[in-house]
Structures are given as C-alpha cells and as structure tokens.
Amino acid sequence: MSTLDPRDVDLGKDLDLRKDLDATVRARRELGEDYDSALMDSFLEKVGQRIDDTVDRRVRRLLAERQMATARESRRPKPADSWTERYGFALLTLVLAIPLSSIAGALAGFSGMVVTWIGIVGVNAVQAVRQNPELFAGRRAPDRSAGDD
C-alpha cells in the first residue's frame, strides 16, 4: 500500500530523476569503476533533494490544514467555562426579581407579579439557550416500527 499523495507526483521531476540515473549508469560504464563513488554520491544527492522537496511539500500542506482547522475552531462560540459565566446571570435575575416582584405586586397586584415572573423565566430561558443551543432541541423518539414484530 502506497502512502504517496497524487499531488506529490510530478512526472517531469520523476522523468528527470530517471534520466539522471540513466546518465549515471552510462557514465559509470564509460569512466569505469574509478568514479563509482563520485557518480553514486551525485545521484544520491539528487534523490535526497527530491525526497526533501516532497517532504517539505507535505509538511507545508499539513501545517496549512492545521492552521485552517484552528481558524475554524476559533470561530466557534466558546462554552461557558466558569461557574460565574454559567450561573451568574441566573443569580442576578433572581436578585433583581425581588424588587421587581415588589413593585409589580404593589402596582398591578397578583397579575403584575405573574407577568414579572414570566419575563424573568423567559429571560433566563433565552440566556440558557444562547449558552447551550442544543438545550431545547427536539429529541426524536426511537423508531418502533423496526424489530417490534
């Protein structure tokens, strides 16, 4: 199984490498065994450079993909991390509910208090859904048509 990425294959460079190998073999035949070491070193240097170029391309591609993934992650809203972020708003609305209930009860009676508490519950529900969008998402009932024969 090959892990070669099709984007890494450059037929022009592969043909050049093949031509270099053929030239090295012909030069060895013509020059004799005295130049084997120099010819092989030259050819292996070209092969090493080809490998380095391929690795560099792969590393750059992987780094770019990770940077894109990091950029996408940073766009997502962060979940509430601290206790204050999670419950601070609810506590604040409950503290403010005391004077609001007193004012509504004094001015409009019981119906004013009901409207005030409906507003307090509504504001807290909106805040809870904003922090956790899946909170009120409908859950699908299990499919009972399959396997109950």
CA angle 54, 55, 58 (to 5 degrees): 90
pLDDT > 50? residue 90: yes
Neighbouring residues of 14: CB distance < 8 A, sequence distance ≥ 6 = none
Share of the chain above pLDDT 90, in %: 21
Q: pTM of this prediction?
A: 0.40
Give the pLDDT of residue 13: 60
Mean pLDDT of the region 32-56 = 86
Q: Which of 60, 61, 57, 37 is nearest to 49 (CA)?
A: 57
